[in-house]
Amino acid sequence: MKTLVGSLLFFAISASALAQGSRFPDSAVSLPSGWNGPVFKLSQNYPTQISADVYPWQSIDPLTAPNDYMQSVLHYCLAGNIEVDWVVQNNQTRTWYHAPWMHWGDHGREPIRGLTYEKPSGKGVLANTQTDVFQNWAVGFYNSPGGFTIGRVWSNALSPNPGLALFPENTVSCKLLFTEATKEQVPFLAGSLEWDAYIYTSNDNAKVGAPRILKKLRLLQLDIAVRDSRANSTTGWIFGTFIYDGTIAGNNPYARLRPVGLMWGDDKDFNLPQAQQGLKPKQTWLNPDAQHIMTHYGWLNRLNGPVDNAQSSCLSCHSTAQWRVLAPMVPPAGTPAGSPQWMMWFRDIGPGTTFSSGTASLDYSLQLAGGMQNLVAWVNTCAAHPTNTIVPPCPQAAFDAFNAHRPRPQIQLGYLVTRDAPEATRTKPAVSACGPVCGTERWPVKTWSDLDANKVSMQPVSQTVQGLVSLMPPATRPQNNRVAPIETTTFLVGAYLLGFKLEQDQDVHIVLGDERVHETMIVEIPNPKCGGVCSSKGLKPIQQARDNFLHHCGVPTSQFKKLTKPLQVRVTGVGFFDFNHHQTGVAKNAIELHPVLQIDFPDNTDDCARHVM
């Protein structure tokens, strides 16, 4: 695969404004009216050879001194950039370089700082006091080895060569990530670095052409990535992230950047069973001093920053950087956590190795992947609508083809290079001060440790299996919030126990049926030793319910045990809508009682253990 798409040469020949060696656009967004402050200019004078430099982290072992390693790279990124207010091409210590074609589309660069639209933070994601969804915006840049590689890949502005995307040793990428979150809702942001940016007025309308507003953003996160051959046995890259922490001393905002953690591999063999035993990833270091302000990390406590998706990790997201974009950055919705398909995102993929077969590796650079995808989107737009007002303007060849009725086929974009929807709609492992991580999907709600836990009524409402199964399921199922009124109601259900098993997340999975066994539903009793449960508002009744069930039915196994004789039970639990993964006994609307707070066996002379098949 020598070029991105051979047909792009059709445009490259005739697009004089973007011929080889000419400038890439800075932004496609006009400045706000009356603006007289900074204006972003892309650093695109890419070097034709790597500049001599000193790399101080080379003498530091990242495995035994991860904090020192991170601080060394941080100081390298800050040196000379603070003095020029992050106009990185003016840095007198070393020049840094931006990736091109990041100006295009819904996520494209805004015009003041060159920030691109990032994954927004849902309610409660940055802090428990956060009640609104906030936009996040970021700008990244590469040092000379990285800029050298970007320049080679993009030597032809309309026909990039992904085959040249192999970054040399000591390539460094730094990214500043800003949020519109306020210090009132996220208190640790007090005193942070503030930038003016021209962002979307509403997070619900983050599209090209949507209204924008000039707003103060605050530095929240700083990411680093280093091509380090000491990690060649895993991925060849070492990723780290910092969080701004206004609670610590420091004479400027940069001094209050606290390391969150460092990772040098994706712990490909670390899965739910290991986490349930209380084990931790071996190729991630998490800074214990940052835990008080981190609401989540990556999947099973792999490294990820405060804005990042909690069902992935720094390395797993970036491992999908390839052309064509045949894989999303995170496991698709509905993929069972820990399954072989899920673990495809947690492999150790070496430099130059692709995530998907039949593609070209972009060596962990999502900025290269996003830029190439944006270029193709521009080509598609020019082919279909050459008269649109876009940046850069469509070449004459597009007008000629359109006017001659020679339609050009649209090039497939693949999966969008995006970190997905707000965290409130995604799977997020619970971070708990007690117990190991046992579950992921809607785990705070399942364990009654979510943001809406205090909204649950303790007064049971009598209901039947048929009555609950007939309820309309909600359109959304938030990760850390409840869907009223069903999920804020405690129900008492008289039914028949049909069978049970032990789930991978350590829940006791119980299937109930109505009187005629026409409808079934699931009720679940979590393990009180698991994270989330051990700090749950319902810990005591959950423990009592589990003990009573084990007393009557014995210890469950991972194999579903069907009863030869259904037994009457009375179950009290909180309403909960699960996702339908074709679980044994799942209701047609996926309703459950989860957690179960009490289970009674009216006939104490007939234990269910006697009727297990």
Given 376, 400, 424, which residue is the final one in a domain? 424
On whether the CB atoms of residues 541 and 549 are closer than 8 A, the answer is no
Instruction: Work out the average pLDDT over 504-520.
Output: 87
Question: pLDDT confidence of 579, banded at 50, 70, 90?
Answer: confident
Give the pLDDT confidence score for residue 434 in this predicted structure.
65
Looking at the structure, tell me whether residues 209 and 344 fall in a common domain. Answer: yes
Q: Give the per-residue pLDDT at 225.
A: 98
In a domain, 160, yes or no: yes
What is the pLDDT, as a whole number, of residue 17? 43
Instruction: Verify that 175 and 302 share a domain, yes or no.
Output: yes
pLDDT at position 428 is: 36
The answer on 446 and 417 residing in a single domain is no
Residues 165 and 273 in one domain: yes
Q: Give the up-direction half-sphere exposure of residue 480: CA atoms within 13 A in the CB hemisphere.
A: 24
Average pLDDT over residues 423-449: 64
Give the integer Cα–Cα distance in Å for 604 and 607: 7
pLDDT band, very low/low/confident/very high, at 480 (cuts 50, 70, 90): confident
- Residue 138 maps to a domain: yes
Residue 297 contacts residue 312 (beta carbons within 8 Å): no
Q: Judge if 81 and 53 occupy the same domain.
A: yes
Tally the domains of the chain: 2
Q: What is the mean pLDDT of the chain?
A: 89
Looking at the structure, do residues 484 and 607 belong to the same domain, yes or no?
yes
Of 405, 416, 312, give the one whose Cα is nearest residue 366. Answer: 416
Nearest Cα neighbor of 265 from 153, 192, 346, 380 is: 346
Residue 373 lies in a domain: yes
pLDDT 10s digits, 278-317: 899 999 999 999 999 999 999 999 999 999 998 999 999 9
Statement to judge: residues 328 and 454 lie in one domain: no
Please say if the pLDDT value at position 13 is more than 50. Answer: no
| Domain endpoint, select from 369, 403, 424 | 424
pLDDT score at 419: 58
> What gap in Å lies between CA 296 and CA 301, rounded to an integer?
8
Which string of b and e fits 84-104 if b means at least 16 CB within 10 Å? eebbbeebeebbbbbbbbbbb
Min mean pLDDT across 49-53, 227-231, 384-388 is at 384-388
What's the average model confidence in pLDDT over 518-543? 92
In a domain, 201, yes or no: yes
Residue 377 lies in a domain: yes
For residue 459, the model assigns a pLDDT of 94
What are the tens digits of pLDDT across the range 319-337?
Answer: 999 998 888 899 887 788 8
Any domain includes 598:
yes
* 1 lies in some domain: no
CA–CA distance, 612 with 610 (Å, rounded to integer): 6
d(CA 32, CA 307): 27
| Claim to verify: residue 415 and residue 347 sit in the same structural domain | yes
Q: Which CATH number fits the domain that encloses residue 603?
A: 2.40.50.140
Distance CA 251, CA 140 (A): 25
What pLDDT is attached to residue 605? 65
Lowest-pLDDT range of 136-140, 438-442, 449-453, 530-534: 438-442
Residue with the larger pLDDT of the pair 355 and 334: 355
* 21 pLDDT higher than 90: no
- Sequence letter at residue 308: D
- 361 vs 357: CA distance, rounded Å: 10
| Domain identity same for 449 and 494 | yes
Average pLDDT over residues 476-488: 88
d(CA 542, CA 557): 19
Same domain flag for 406 and 464: no
pLDDT at 14 over 60: no
Neighbours of 430 (CB within 10 A): 27
Q: How confident is the model at residue 112 (pLDDT cuts 50, 70, 90)?
A: very high
Does 109 have pLDDT greater than 60? yes
Strands 490-502 and 116-117: unpaired
Q: Which of 180, 199, 209, 211 minimizes the C-alpha distance to 110?
A: 199
39 pLDDT above the threshold of 90 = yes
pLDDT at 90 over 90: yes
Q: Is residue 429 one of the residues assigned to a domain?
A: no
Are residues 536 and 576 both part of a single domain? yes
Closest CA to 499 of 386, 586, 600: 586
As a whole number of angstroms, the distance between CA 192 and CA 466 comes to: 54
Which residues on neighbouring strands pair with residue 513, listed in sequence order?
496, 520
pLDDT of residue 9 exceeding 60: no
Mean pLDDT of all residues in 421-431: 36
Read off the pLDDT band of 517 (50, 70, 90).
low
CB neighbour class for 529 (10 Å; exposed up to 12, middle 13-18, buried from 19): middle
- Residue 92 confidence (pLDDT) above 90: yes
Find the domain containing 192 and state its range: 6-424
Q: Where are the beta strands (DSSP E) in 287-432?
A: 322-323, 360-361
Per residue in 149-205, pLDDT (tens digit) is 999 999 998 899 999 999 999 999 999 999 999 999 999 999 999 999 999 999 888
Residues 336 and 362 in one domain: yes
Secondary structure E strands in 245-390: 257-263, 284-286, 322-323, 360-361
Domain end among 402, 424, 446? 424
* CB of 557 closer than 8 Å to CB of 613: no
Local structure of 612: helix, strand or coil: strand
